[in-house]
Amino acid sequence: MSRLKALGLGLVGAALALGSATAPAAAQWETVRIATEGAYAPWNFSNPDGTLAGFEIDLANALCAHMEVECEIVVQDWAGIIPALQAGKYDAIMAGMNITDQRMEVIAFSRSYAGTPHGFGAMADSPLAALETGAEPLSLDTDPDAVAALVEAWKPVLEGKVIGVQGSTTNANFLQEYLADVIEIREYGTTEQHDLDLTAGRLDGIFAAHSALTATMQKPEFTDMKIVGTGLSGGVLGRGVAVGLRQENTDLRDMFTAAIQAALDDGTISELAVKWFGVDVTPAN
């Protein structure tokens, strides 16, 4: 694909120099391969028969239809999802990935298409049920003082507790930066794995996106689970979920951004969000 892109850009440059009309380089994208984790309900997950489902699966197909390209969705373990993108295994990532400055050093992002607060999940009889909770989520970007005060109020309750989190995520980064001095952080390959350890009593709580926690609580074995503490967003937790792409594929980035904007404008993303999350999680337009 990179060779085709280089050739395409060269031809476009030559045509422009001659003053003739030529199709844009983006026309090369007839098929777009999109990676997803397949283990992060309700964003993306695998059915018992191996088929993929979830908010991002429906959205990926809608975006590809808007871009008039064939959509091929593949499953990739979360831990290797960025390296495999860089290696050219696929062209884009749609896997509940938040935009962060650290990730932008190695990949590019489309505009955001969704975002939910992050926070703690625990069983109803857990000591974490005593965590201070606010009515509205707080932003690490716009409410830093309030977040700092909240975290300090949390620390006596969290002291010595074992908290599960999916590794290589913004959630893990938050725990390391704000709470590593008081809790034991136990990292897992998937959210499904830490959910199981929570019900088995090996964890005092988990830290994840509220959307993932809500999906977990809908399972019969998690009826006694609840979201505890005030929800948080921004800062190390990221600036919304978006499509991840190789930095050199600016044409594909622009195609995705235009398709996302169109899907926001016509209500497609809102409709899919309500279908999969029960609430509209679209970002400010």
Q: Which of 23-27, 94-98, 191-195, 208-212 has the lowest mean pLDDT?
A: 23-27
Q: Write the DSSP assignment of 14-44 as a string of letters.
A: HHHHHT-----GGGG-SEEEEEE-SEETTTE
> Do 98 and 162 fall into the same domain?
no
pLDDT digits (tens, 9 = 90+) for 69-80: 999 999 999 999
CATH number, residue 15? 3.40.190.10
State yes or no: pLDDT of 105 exceeds 70: yes
Tally of structural domains, the chain: 2
Read off the pTM: 0.83
pLDDT digits (tens, 9 = 90+) for 39-74: 999 999 999 999 999 999 999 999 999 999 999 999
Amino acid at 277: F
Taking the C-alpha atoms of residue 29 and residue 17, their distance in angstroms, rounded to an integer, is: 24
> Do 205 and 244 fall into the same domain?
no
pLDDT digits (tens, 9 = 90+) for 237-274: 999 999 999 999 999 999 999 999 999 999 999 999 99
In a domain, 284, yes or no: no
pLDDT for position 285: 58
3-state class of 182 per DSSP? Answer: coil
Amino acid at 217: M
What share of the chain in percent tops pLDDT 90? 86
> Do 197 and 92 fall into the same domain?
no
> Do 60 and 193 fall into the same domain?
no
> Do 196 and 146 fall into the same domain?
yes
> Do 111 and 131 fall into the same domain?
no
> Do 111 and 148 fall into the same domain?
no
State yes or no: pLDDT of 91 exceeds 80: yes
Taking the C-alpha atoms of residue 223 and residue 66, their distance in angstroms, rounded to an integer, is: 39
pLDDT for position 3: 35
Taking the C-alpha atoms of residue 70 and residue 64, their distance in angstroms, rounded to an integer, is: 6
Identify the domain containing residue 205 by its residue range. 118-237
Taking the C-alpha atoms of residue 170 and residue 246, their distance in angstroms, rounded to an integer, is: 20
In a domain, 282, yes or no: no
* Residue 163 host element (H or E): strand 162-166
In a domain, 130, yes or no: yes
> Do 176 and 216 fall into the same domain?
yes
In a domain, 285, yes or no: no
> Do 14 and 85 fall into the same domain?
yes
Helices 55-67, 268-277: crossing angle, 10 deg rounding: 160
* Residue 72 host element (H or E): strand 70-75
Taking the C-alpha atoms of residue 97 and residue 163, their distance in angstroms, rounded to an integer, is: 21
Taking a C-beta distance cutoff of 8 angstroms, is the pair 93, 177 a contact? no
* Mean pLDDT of all residues in 33-37: 98
> Do 109 and 141 fall into the same domain?
no
